[in-house]
A = this chain, B = another copy of it.
Amino acid sequence: MNLKNTPARSAIYDFLVRSSSPVDAGQIIKFLRSKNLNTNKVTVYRNLDALFKNGLLERVEFGEGKFRYEFKKNHHHHLICTNCGKIEDISGEYLTVIENKIRKENGFIVKSHSLEFYGLCRNCRNN
């Protein structure tokens, strides 16, 4: 696929690069409006799809019934505070051992995984 450099696309991508945690389509649309880039929501969805399919974005679900997207960096997982909504990254590949075990015991070849942790962040645990 041949991705072109358009104002909408680079604005969306820049926003995701600058975001510290995964954002949903609605947040992107609001951001673009606040910058007076009145990009149609369909364009946002199509760009998210194109960037995702080209491996530039990661797509995650946090049990909200919608997708969130983030700039693809090093492999990591999320700590999601169920009290304040704060999202932290934790780096590292913890699952290699498990995935090898799955391959042996289930004959299943793991290509990817999703792993999110829900709980209370440092601030909220003390309140």
Contact = CB atoms under 8 A, between A and B. Distances in A.
A61 interface: yes
A98 B61 CA distance: 21
Given A59-B63, A63-B59, A67-B65, A117 B99 contact: yes
The range of chain A's interface size is 20 to 34
Interface string A79-118: 1011000001010001100110010001111111111111
A109 B120 CA distance: 5
B118 A106 contact: no
B119 A111 contact: yes
A73 interface: no
A117 to B, nearest CB: 5
Interface string A30-67: 00000000000000000000000000000101010111
Contact of A82 (B106, B107, B111): B111
B63 A65 contact: no
A79 B63 contact: no
Contacts of A117: 99, 102, 108, 110, 112-113
Given A67-B65, A106-B79, A107-B125, A116 B113 contact: yes
